[in-house]
Amino acid sequence: MRFFRQRIGIDLGTANTLVFVPGKGVVTSEPSVVAISVHEDKVLAVGDEAKAMLGRTPDGIEAYKPLKDGVIADYRVTEAMLKYFIGKVSGRVRFSRPEVMISIPAGVTSTERRAVIDAAVKAGAKEVYVVKEPILAAIGAGIPIHSAHGNMIIDIGGGTSEIAVISLGGIVAADSARVGGNKFDQAIADYIKRKYSLAIGERTAEELKIAIGSAITQKTKDTYEVHGRDLIGGMPRTVRIHANEVTEALQDELREVINAIKKVLQETPPELAADIMDKGMILSGGGALLKNLDQLIMQTIGVPCYSAEDPLKCVVNGTGEVLKNLETYKRTILATKK
């Protein structure tokens, strides 16, 4: 009797984890957060439910992110998180263990790569394929990665910004900056702390970024009210923040991303650099949702830059495309471990 083996694609991100099932598309997208009972050493919640606990947990419960800068910081908790997502998609009754494809940062070490594979196998996967994020982001953005032309992808996730030039199915030049959406949020919180002596949580900083954040200053009167704790009196206080203050707060982090892009362009062969000048750079990842980021890159670098359609799902959609044509991609971009 032959069993049907399910295939699952996972964009294992520092901030969010997205899951793709061929034939269904993206079936779940939840924060990469796990809540643990310290006393019982037990997982209490994963994803949306765990994120709701961030900054609100009593003694004895910890809600935290098991991935840092795109790689596993806590192996055991990452395994529990993967088990949750695989189980959520597969259901309680499984005929066979699924084949799982997981995105990994381009600059991971062999040890970090092995940790992802081992965690997925222990979480219930039969076979695990790992593919570098820029390759998957490019595929998900509709870039023809196997052509002889140069294509540049800038994938800004929660923990890292991955920049790569791809040609003939491989990465020709790449760089990774340990800056992404989480660092953007932290920079905003630090700015408000310095300027207003007000402590705000990372969820509040993220809400502020999404509501009025921009990569370049604007002629706007947009403001957003934030609530926090006064660092001098210790009492709750409310401050109204202007959109351009968020832009000011993000300058150092955005400069890091720009410098990484410049470094990759400097290492790119002239023929491929000419292709990029002609076709432009593609922006993907949750960080691409920051307003006017494509304009900032274009103004600073002098090369056209475009945001991919649905940038948040580029990597996970890339896993779906590869899973649909698994035998073809096995010969080119895939590494597999049982």
Q: Is the pLDDT of residue 89 over 70?
A: yes
SS3 273: helix
Q: Return the beta strands (E) in 69-199 as ranges.
A: 71-72, 99-104, 127-132, 151-156, 161-167, 170-177, 198-199
Residues 325 and 335: their CA atoms lie apart, in Å, by 15
- CATH 3.30.420.40 segments of the chain: 7-135+315-337, 143-307
**pLDDT tens digits, one per residue of 171-212:** 999 998 889 999 999 999 999 999 999 999 988 999 999 999
CATH architecture of 143-307: 2-Layer Sandwich (3.30)
Res. 4 pLDDT band, cuts 50 70 90: low
pLDDT score, position 337: 47
Q: Is the pLDDT of residue 321 over 80?
A: yes
Residues 199 and 208: their CA atoms lie apart, in Å, by 14
pLDDT score, position 73: 85
Q: What share of the chain is helix, strand, coil (3-state, %, to 5)?
A: 40, 30, 30
The CB density around residue 231, as the number of other CB atoms within 10 Å, is 12
The pLDDT > 70 percentage for the chain reads: 95
pLDDT score, position 338: 42
**324 or 54, which is more confident:** 324
Across 110-125, b (16+ Cβ under 10 Å) vs e yields eeebebbbbbbbebbb
pLDDT score, position 293: 96
Q: Is the pLDDT of residue 247 over 60?
A: yes
**pLDDT tens digits, one per residue of 271-316:** 999 999 999 999 999 999 999 999 999 999 999 999 999 999 999 9
CATH pick for 7-135+315-337 out of 3.40.50.2300, 3.40.1710.10, 3.30.420.40, 3.90.550.10: 3.30.420.40
Residues 35 and 185: their CA atoms lie apart, in Å, by 21
Q: Are strands 305-307 and 281-284 parallel, antiparallel or unpaired?
A: parallel
Decide: 54 and 201 in contact? Cβ < 8 Å. Answer: yes
Average pLDDT of every residue of the chain: 89
Which residue has 């890339």 as its token pair? Answer: 318
Q: Is the pLDDT of residue 158 over 70?
A: yes
pLDDT score, position 61: 85
**14 or 334, which is more confident:** 14
Residues 5 and 302: their CA atoms lie apart, in Å, by 48
pLDDT score, position 1: 37
pLDDT score, position 40: 81
**249 or 92, which is more confident:** 249
